[in-house]
Amino acid sequence: MRIDIITLLPKLLDSPLSHSIIKRAREAEVVEIVVHDLRDYSTDKHRNVDDYAFSGEAGMVMQIEPIDRAISRLKSERIYDEIIYTSPDGENFNQKIANELSTKQNIIILCGHYKGVDQRVRDHLISREISIGDYVLTGGELAAAVITDALTRLLPGAMSDESSALSDSFQDGLLSPEVYTRPAEYKGWKVPDVLLSGNTKKIEEWKLKNSLDRTKRLRPDMLGEED
Ligand code: ADE
């Protein structure tokens, strides 16, 4: 999979996409992540890419021209399955969308900033708008990093133990069960006996019940129940 990220702040994306599973997935060429500086597509001598809103609204608006240039250049090189704009008023990102996007070949993520982009970008250049939650960030870079991280770990070959992506919270509509490791007792706090029993069937039953209990307690909405 290839993910192209268009941003005003390329450096902000360096660290989040350079560690752990994402780093290894990039090295193994499971994913290609390319970050583009939107200012490289400006024709302005000061590399400006924003201007005042015609409506007089306070705050700057990202102009369509550099964005169109950046996207057109990428589209001339390959076919994109989705061109995503990160915005607090997009559809709420969740595991279902992550699963769906992880099956795509090439995607572009355009990071919003300031007051956002000229509406014509949203009307004509973008295929999808995604929010990572009902709060406003200073820009879309962290949202792009979240989306890229969630997609990359799902790609075949990204994780050494692929079954662990399948047993994540949300993958089967439940939160994942609690986990424990050694020591079996610490300061008198004990690991549940069943997990030390070696009885695989009993352990599987415990895991399912624990998942259900946690989901009921922490996220009743996932079971179609009221809070
Ligand atoms: N840009 C600013 N806030 C955002 C959010 N919550 N999700 C996606 N992009 C954003």
Taken in order of first residue, the domains within the chain and their CATH numbers are 2-152 (3.40.1280.10), 167-223 (1.10.1270.20)
Residue nearest to atom 7 of ligand 1 (CA): 131
Q: What pLDDT does residue 92 have? A: 98
Alpha carbon of 209 to ligand 1 centroid (Å)? 36
Alpha carbon of 152 to ligand 1 centroid (Å)? 20
Residue nearest to atom 9 of ligand 1 (CA): 87
Determine which helix (DSSP H) or strand (DSSP E) holds 208, and give its type and residue range. helix 200-218
From the CB of 203, is ligand 1 less than 6 Å away? no
Q: What is the pLDDT of residues 31-86, one digit of tens each?
A: 999 999 999 999 999 999 999 999 999 999 999 999 999 999 999 999 999 999 99
Cβ–Cβ < 8 Å for 143, 132: yes
From the CB of 136, is ligand 1 less than 6 Å away? yes
From the CB of 112, is ligand 1 less than 6 Å away? yes
| Ligand 1 atom having least distance to the Cα of 136 | 3
Q: What is the pLDDT of residues 186-198, one digit of tens each?
A: 999 999 999 999 9
Q: Which of 114, 137, 142 to mutate to test the pocket of ligand 1 (most atoms within 8 A of CB)?
A: 137
Task: Give counts: helices (H), strands (E), the chain.
Answer: 8, 9
Alpha carbon of 187 to ligand 1 centroid (Å)? 43
Cβ–Cβ < 8 Å for 141, 7: yes
Q: Look-up: residue for tokens 């941003």?
A: 7
Range with the poorest average pLDDT among 110-114, 190-194, 196-200, 208-212:
110-114
- Token representation of residue 18: 């350079």
Q: Could you tell me the pTM of the whole model?
A: 0.94
Q: What is the pLDDT of residues 132-191, one digit of tens each?
A: 999 999 999 999 999 999 999 999 999 877 557 777 888 789 999 999 999 999 999 999
Residue nearest to atom 6 of ligand 1 (CA): 88
Alpha carbon of 154 to ligand 1 centroid (Å)? 22
Give dist(CA 136, CA 115) in Å, integer: 11
Of 119, 101, 99, nearest to 109 (Cα)? 101
Q: Which of 13, 84, 86 to mutate to test the pocket of ligand 1 (most atoms within 8 A of CB)?
A: 86
Of 81, 93, 141, 89, nearest to 113 (Cα)? 141
